[in-house]
Structure 1
Amino acid sequence: MFRLSCEQPEAGCGTSMAPGSELSRAGDDVSGLVSCEEVSAVLHAHRRWDDGATVRAISHAQHLEKLMSMGQSPLPVFTHKELYDNQSLDPVISRVMFFVDRGRRPSRRERVLEANETVYTLRQWGKLTTRLGILYRVSKHPVSKKKIFQYVVPVSLRGLVLKGVHDDAGHQGQQRTLWLTRQRFYWNSMEKDVKEYVAHCKRCVLSKAPEPEARAPLVSIVTTAPLELVCIDFWTAEDSNNKSIDVLVVTDHFTKLACAYPCPNQSAKTVARVLWNNFFCVYGFADCIHSDRGANFESSLIAELLQLSGVGKSHTTPYHPMGNGQAERLNRTLGGMIRALPARSKAKWPQMLNTLTFSYNCTVHETTGFPPFFLMFGRTPRLPVDVMFESVLLDGDTVDVDKYVQSLGEDLREAMTLAQQHASKQQKRQAEVYNRRSKGHSVEKGDRVLLANKGERGKKKLADRWDSAVYIVVAKNSSLNTYRIQHPTTGRIKTVHRNLIMPVNFLPLPSWEEPESHGYLSSGDVF
Structure 2
Amino acid sequence: MWMDPMVEYLKDGKLPANSVKSSKIRKEASKYMLIEQRLYRRGFSSPLLKCVDSEEAEYIIKEVHEGVCGTHIRGRALAGKIARAGYYWPTLKTDCLDYVRRCDTCQRFADSHQASAEQMYIVTSPWPFHKWGIDILGPFPLTPGQLKFLMVAVDYFTKWVEAEPMATITAERVKRFMWKKIICRFGLLAEIVLDNGTRFASSTTAKFCQELHIRQSFTSVEHPQANGQAEAANRVILRGLRRRLEEAKGRWAEELPQVLWSYHTTPHSTTGETPFCLAYWSEAVIPVEIGEPSPRTALFEPTANEDELRANLDLLQETREIAHIKEYAVKTRVARKYDRKVVYRDFQEGDLVLTKVTLGAKKNKLTPKWEGPFRIAEKVGRGAYRLEHLEGRRIPRTWNASSLRRQATRARIDRPTLKLQDPKRTAQETDLGSED
TM-score (norm 2): 0.83
Question: Is 1:158 paired with 2:68?
Answer: no
Shift of 1:337: 0.7
Segments of 5+ residues of structure 1 without an aligned counterpart are 1-89, 142-146, 508-512, 519-527
Partner of 1:318, secondary structure, is: coil
Does structure 1 retain, via aligned residues, the 8 Å contact 2:134–2:152?
A: yes
Question: More displaced, 210-219 or 158-167?
Answer: 210-219
Q: Aligned letter for 1:158?
A: A
Q: 1:155, 1:446 → 2: CA distance?
A: 31
Is 1:231 the counterpart of 2:231 in the alignment?
no
Q: CA deviation at 1:221?
A: 1.4
Tell me the SS of whatever aligns to 1:298. coil
Q: How far did residue 392 of structure 1 move?
A: 4.1
Alpha-carbon deviation of 1:152? Answer: 0.8
Q: Do residues 362 (structure 1) and 265 (structure 2) align?
A: yes
Give the SS at the match of 1:462. coil
Partners of 2:154 and 2:248 in 1: how far apart? Answer: 24
Q: Of 37, 44, 49, which residue of structure 2 is paired with 1:133?
A: 37
Following superposition of structure 1 onto structure 2, how do residues 64-463 of structure 1 map, counting pairs within 5 Å? 90=1, 92-101=2-11, 110=15, 113=18, 116=21, 123-141=27-45, 147-168=46-67, 169-183=70-84, 184-209=86-111, 215-236=117-138, 237-239=140-142, 245-341=148-244, 343=246, 347-390=250-293, 392-393=295-296, 403=307, 406-454=310-358, 457=361, 459-463=363-367
CA root-mean-square deviation: 3.0
How far apart are 1:279 and its partner, in Å? 3.0
* Aligned-pair identity (%): 22
Structure 1 315/387 Cα, relative in aligned 2: closer, same or farther at 3 Å?
Answer: same
CA distance in 2, matches of 1:120, 1:251: 71
Closer, same or farther: CA 215–426 of 1 in aligned 2, 3 Å: same
Map of 1:475 onto structure 2: 379
Q: Which runs of 5+ in 2 are unaligned?
A: 416-436
Contact 2:141 2:250 in 1 (8 A): no
The alpha-carbon deviation at position 239 of structure 1 amounts to 4.4
Deviation per residue, 1:259-293 (Å, 9 max, x gap): 22111211222222233223322222222221111
Distance of 1:430 and 1:120 partners within structure 2: 56
User: Aligned partners of 1:400, 1:211: CA distance in 2, in Å?
Assistant: 60
Q: Structure 1 residues 195, 100: CA separation in 2 closer, same or farther (over 3 Å shift)?
A: same
> Shift in Å at residue 458 of structure 1?
5.4
**C-alpha distance in 1 between matches for 2:371 and 2:286:** 54
- Residue identity matched to 2:92: M
* Structure 1 position 404, deviation (Å): 5.1
How far residue 137 of structure 1 moved from its aligned partner, in angstroms, is 0.9
Q: Structure 1, residues 224-263: CA drift from partner, whole Å, max 9, x if none?
A: 2111111111112114779661111111111111122111
Supply the distance in 2 between the matched residues of 1:300 and 1:405 (Cα, whole angstroms): 44
Measured in 1, the distance between the counterparts of 2:95 and 2:360 equals 33
Query: Which amino acid letter does the alignment assign opposite residue 90 of structure 2?
Result: N
Larger Cα Rg: Structure 1 or Structure 2? 1
After TM superposition, give the deviation of residue 483 of structure 1 in Å: 1.4
For residues 496-526 of structure 1, the C-alpha deviation after alignment (integer angstroms, 9 at most, x for no partner) is 111122234x54xxxxx763768xxxxxxxx
Q: 1:490 to 1:284 in 2, by over 3 A?
A: same
Contact 2:95 2:413 in 1 (8 A): no
Where in structure 2 are the equivalents of 1:11-30 lying within 5 Å?
A: none
**Change in CA separation of 1:345 and 1:128 when aligned onto 2, cut-off 3 Å:** closer
Higher mean alpha-carbon deviation, 456-465 vs 173-182, is at 456-465
Q: What's the secondary structure of 1:416's corresponding residue?
A: helix
Q: Which residue of 2 aligns with 1:85?
A: none
**TM-aligned CA distance change 1:95 to 1:517, over 3 Å:** closer
C-alpha distance in structure 2 between counterparts of 1:200 and 1:409, whole Å: 65
Do the aligned partners of residues 402 and 361 (structure 1) sit closer, same or farther apart at CA in structure 2, a change above 3 Å counting? closer
- Kindly state the Cα deviation for residue 492 of structure 1 after the two structures are TM-superposed: 1.7
Moved more, 283-292 or 386-395: 386-395
Structure 1 residue 345: deviation in Å?
Answer: 6.9
**Aligned equivalents of 1:407, 1:135: Cα separation in 2:** 95
Contact 2:266 2:274 (8 Å CA) reproduced: yes
Who is 2:429 aligned against? none
* Cα separation, partners in 2 of 1:119 and 1:333, compared to 1, 3 Å: farther
2:349 and 2:379 in contact (8 A); partners too: yes
Q: Structure 1 length as normaliser, TM-score?
A: 0.70
Deviation at 1:361, TM superposition (A): 0.8
- Which amino acid is 1:290 matched to? V
Residues 108 and 368, structure 2, Cα contact 8 Å, conserved in 1: yes
Q: Report if the CA contact (8 A) 1:121-1:188 is conserved.
A: no
C-alpha spacing 1:464/1:156, structure 2 compared with 1 (3 Å)? same
SS in 1 for 2:123: coil
Distance, in Å, in 1 between the alignment partners of 2:314 and 2:284 is 18
Query: In 2, Cα distance between the equivalents of 1:265 and 1:120?
Result: 75
Structure 1 Cα separation of the partners of residues 180 and 377 of structure 2: 43
Instruction: Work out the CA distance in 2 between the residues paired with 1:496 and 1:251.
Output: 24
Distance 1:345 1:450, change over 3 A: closer
